[in-house]
Structure formats: structure tokens, C-alpha cells
Amino acid sequence: MSKFKLALIISAALSIGIAVPAGAQDTLKIAAGQRGNWDTTIAEVGQRAGIFKKRGLVLEILWTQGGGETQQAVISGSVDIGVAPGIMGVLSAYSKGAPVRIIGAETTGAADLYWYVPSASPIKSLKDTEGKTISYSTNGSSTHGIVTAFMKQYDLKAKPTATGGPAPTLTQVMSGQIDVGWSAPPFGLQQLDEGKIRIIASGNDAAVFKGQTVRLLITNVQTLKTRKPAIERFMKAYRETVDWLYSDDPAALTTYADFVGIPVAMAKRTRDDFFPRASVDPDKIVGLDTIVPEAVALKFTATPLTKEQLAELIQIPSRQ
């Protein structure tokens, strides 16, 4: 059989969801921030369930400490797809000529992100943070964008500080190195339940991000040009995984819980209390009319991106 005929057979099989031979599968390198967060593990869970394999894909996932690291890995061409870089960081990079393209929304709304202090801390709200350190993960991440928005919206005199992921951030907070930490479920839920930490703000307290898309799925211009069919199959499998995670199949929550190492009840609480189905819909970037001018106000971009620039930047594959 010629390679051309084989390619046609594989393409036809993938288009109707038929599994293809293992030898015909493509490998995609993925950089994803914050191992274990509900939204960032969608691809991992889908791979464990065999959903990406059915589409002829094998994912090699690199876990990063935040959206900034993820974005840089994509821009440099070290990985094919980045999961969960902050939208402000991506707009900033694109405006400076970085070869980045958006292939999907990763999270819309910011209710999952929260900022906390040890229970004994005198800090009761963001307004009590003058001269104090307030954490975010990495430059270019969604937490960086939100903390930047906090500073402007509430006229804070705090000291924004990059602390990496939820686990190292918690260590720094509880040891007194950082005054205000950040986290996202399921991380920190046990400490909250035990009364060890106390929430003082959520991501939705930054008005610019409430109800808007805050994190993205991105790729490199060259990857999109040379591996577009694989990117399209990735998005089909990603959507199918999202549908499965919000289905009645108990294996979905079990798969996530097993990966993270938490009880199924905590996995369900993470999904149901913090991530409504619409929040992880990858097909629409919500709130661009607000986000684009705010990117200028928060000094992520020098001028607002034009409609033509946004059309070039945002290239979400069709569901068809």
C-alpha cells in the first residue's frame, strides 16, 4: 500500500472517530501549568482515558510552574501546544512579535483562583496589604494578570512576587516568607477545611477578569503551519474529554482523582464548586472587548490590538 493511500485511510478513520494503529499515531509535546489543577489536567485525563489515542495522538506532557513558563516553551518551539498561559501574557507576547497563536480558550472566569493568608494573619482583605508581599505564579500567567489588576483596581501598595505553583507557594506562606499566597482547587482545600488558611480574595474580585476568558490554549506559528491536522485532532479530543469529564460516567472523576492523588469526593467538589462546564469550553474567547483595552491599561500591550491582529492571533479549529 502506498503512503498516500495509507494517509487517506488514517484521515478517514480519524474523521469518524475510529482508532488507528499505534504505529500511525503522532506525538504532540504539551507544556501545561500547575500539575493537578482541574482545568490544566484535561489533556492528561483524556490521554489516560484513551480519547487522544483514538484520534491518533500521543501526548508528551511537561508540567510547568505557571503560564509564563508554558508560554515561553511554545514560543521557543520546545513544545507544540501550551495549556493555560494567561490571556494578558499572550496578548503581550503577540504584540511584541512572538510567533504565538491561540487555538482555544482554556478557562473562562476566575472563580477558581484564590488568594489566602494564614488564619492568624492580621490581613483581612486586599486593602490590608500595604507593604506586604502578594504572590502570583510566573510572569505572563493568569495569576500575574489578576494581581496586576488588583494593584490598579484597589490602588494597592503591595509587593507582587512570583512564587511558582500552589505547593511551593503554600510552603512560603506558612513559613512566613510570603504574606499572601495564591492557589486553585484542589490545592489548599484541606488547609481551608482544617482552618489553617483563610481566603481574602478570589480571581473574580478583579473586575476585568470576572466572566472573561483568563487562560488559553496556544501553539507556535510554525507548528500550526506544519502540523495543522494534528492540532485539529488535538482540539477534537480535548472537546471530547471535556464532555466526558462533565458526564455521568463515574470513571471520569475517578481518573482525575487517581492522577492527582485525592479522594473522588474532593475531585467532585473541585469540579462542581469551582469549574462549571462553561468555564472550560474551549471554543470561544469571552470578553475581548474588555480585555483588549485593559491589556493597555495594565501595560501588557502598548496599543490595543486591531480586529485584523486578533483575527490573525485567534485561530480556533472548527468543531467540524
Range of the domain at 154: 114-209
Phi/psi for 267 (5° steps) reads -60, -45
Do 179 and 122 fall into the same domain?
A: yes
Burial-class residue 115 by CB neighbours within 10 Å (0-12, 13-18, 19+): buried
Cβ neighbours for 112, distance < 8 A, ≥ 6 positions apart: 37, 38, 39, 184, 185, 203, 274, 275, 279
Do 104 and 217 belong together in one domain?
A: yes
pLDDT digits (tens, 9 = 90+) for 164-174: 999 999 999 99
Q: Which of 209, 236, 259 is the last residue of a domain?
A: 209
At 129, the amino acid letter reads T
Is residue 299 included in any domain, yes or no? Answer: no
- pLDDT at 15 (0 to 100): 41
- Kindly report the CATH number assigned to the domain that includes residue 97: 3.40.190.10
For the chain, which residues score pLDDT lower than 70?
A: 1-24
- Out of 209, 236, 260, a domain closes at 209
Q: How many Cβ atoms sit within 10 Å of the Cβ of residue 44?
A: 23
pTM of the model: 0.85
Q: For residue 65, what pLDDT is reported?
A: 87
Instruction: Give the phi and the psi of residue 269 in degrees, each rounded to 5.
Output: -65, -40
How many domains does the chain fold into?
A: 2
